[in-house]
Amino acid sequence: GVGKSSLICTLISNHFPKKDVPNVFMDVSIPAEATEDGVQVTIMDSSGQADTQRVKQQILETDSIVLVYDVQQRGTLNNLLEIWLPAITRLTTGVPVIIAGNKVDEWSITSNATNPAMAGMRPDEAGGAEGTPMTHQQAEVAPLLEKFRNVVWACFECSAKIHHCIDEVFYMAQIVVTHPIGPIFDLQTNELTPKCAQVMRGVFRYFDRDCDGVLNFSELQAFQMDCFGVPLADDEIVALRKVLEKETDDGLTSRGVTVNGFLGIFKLFISKHQPQVPWTVMRLFGYDDKLDLVPERLAKLSSLPKHDRGYQVLKLSRSSERFLTAIFYQFASPHTGGGGGGGVETEDGGVLFSSMVTMEESFGLASGSGGSGGSMGSTDAVSNQETFLGSAGLSSEALGALRMDAE
């Protein structure tokens, strides 16, 4: 066979079984305390026949799928392309698939040392780096990845025999469940989803304390510390600048990182198989797996302070007035007076509120449904802005540093 049962056995025992490996391995349960994300993981082996009722039921019940083929047998790769992937796409929608090319021996790993192999390759990277010829395995798998790029999240070369890249395969199968790709990244277009981009623009606006449209060094460090609890080192800042200069057209200015550069950072993390980075940020700001603000937190932040309705009225605090005034000055059109003498025109207002989620979206309601109907008024917009900003004032754990590879 292709060695899928051997992969499971080697993973749990850290030892390659030389004999008596069953065709279908028993279900394996990994306790929550043994996983990085604190979740229980169940690994289900299957037979080599995609059309059996048991396999179909397993496909329907699973959260992610690892498809294994033998790198030395082209026919096993054809089976993935012609049988398994079509069956998965018929039975499910949005279940992420990891491709594992097993039985990579030592000489092939060595020969690929100067020509990057497939380990962790995304579908859009199947052609190799610019100016670099594809390896044999990349050339073999590229058509498969292109056809099923909407479900295939990553592709690895591995070996149960020499314990090469096994942990990475199964860890990725876990990560795409605990940090789901679908809500934040479109595998078809290789772009952040509109909703994810909207949320991240809001995060950018929160840390852009001087409201100049870029994150300077101190603002970037504030983001890093609040979200990850670890400061950026000088060499990481240099590497980040190099990455943005290379990967984006307008992600960097002499004053700092632009909003497009900020979005580009998270796009790059996702393409490098680290969706946990953007999810760490969004969950800190109170977003759930559907990128909606958690209702309990939203209700708490939106509640009014205790007051006597018969004798007391509510008004904006001085800090709120200063904040709203500064926002007005920033977006007031120069040709209408700017700097406080003019107004916020339609185009400027679109930029001002572009990062905000409407109350209907926050509660999962259709626009105009419920309440008095219609679109949200300006008072609601201000309330929602305060709600968003309030959700950011949370303590964070040291979840890791924002580390960028300039290559």
Residues 6+ apart with CB under 8 A from 303: none
- Could you read off the pLDDT of 141-199 as tens digits, one per residue? 776 677 887 888 888 889 999 989 999 999 999 999 999 999 999 888 889 999 999 99
pLDDT at 133: 44
Fold of 191-284: Recoverin; domain 1 (1.10.238)
Predicted confidence (pLDDT) at residue 407 exceeds the cutoff of 50: no
List the chain domain ranges: 4-178, 191-284
Helix 4-13 and helix 166-178, axial crossing angle in degrees, nearest 10: 90
274-288, 300-314, 363-377: which has the highest mean pLDDT? 274-288
Q: Quick one: DSSP state of residue 357?
A: P
In words, the CATH class of domain 4-178 is alpha beta
Closest CA to 4 of 76, 86, 89, 62: 76
Cut 0.95: pTM above it: no
More confident residue, 357 or 331: 331
Is 28's pLDDT higher than 70?
yes
Mean pLDDT value across residues 339-356: 51
Taking residues 194-209, what's their average pLDDT? 93
Asked if domains 4-178 and 191-284 share a fold, the reply is: no
Q: Is 191 helix (H, G, I), strand (E, B) or coil?
A: strand
Angle at 125 between CA 233 and CA 198, to 5 degrees: 60
331 pLDDT band (50/70/90 cuts)? low
Q: What is the C-alpha separation between 263 and 252, in angstroms, rounded?
A: 12
pLDDT of residue 46: 85
- Mean pLDDT lowest for which of 94-103, 197-206, 359-368, 373-382? 373-382
Q: What is the pLDDT of residue 396?
A: 28
Q: Residue-wise over 198-225: b if at least 16 C-beta within 10 A, else e?
A: bbbbbbbbbbbeeeeebbbeebbebbbe
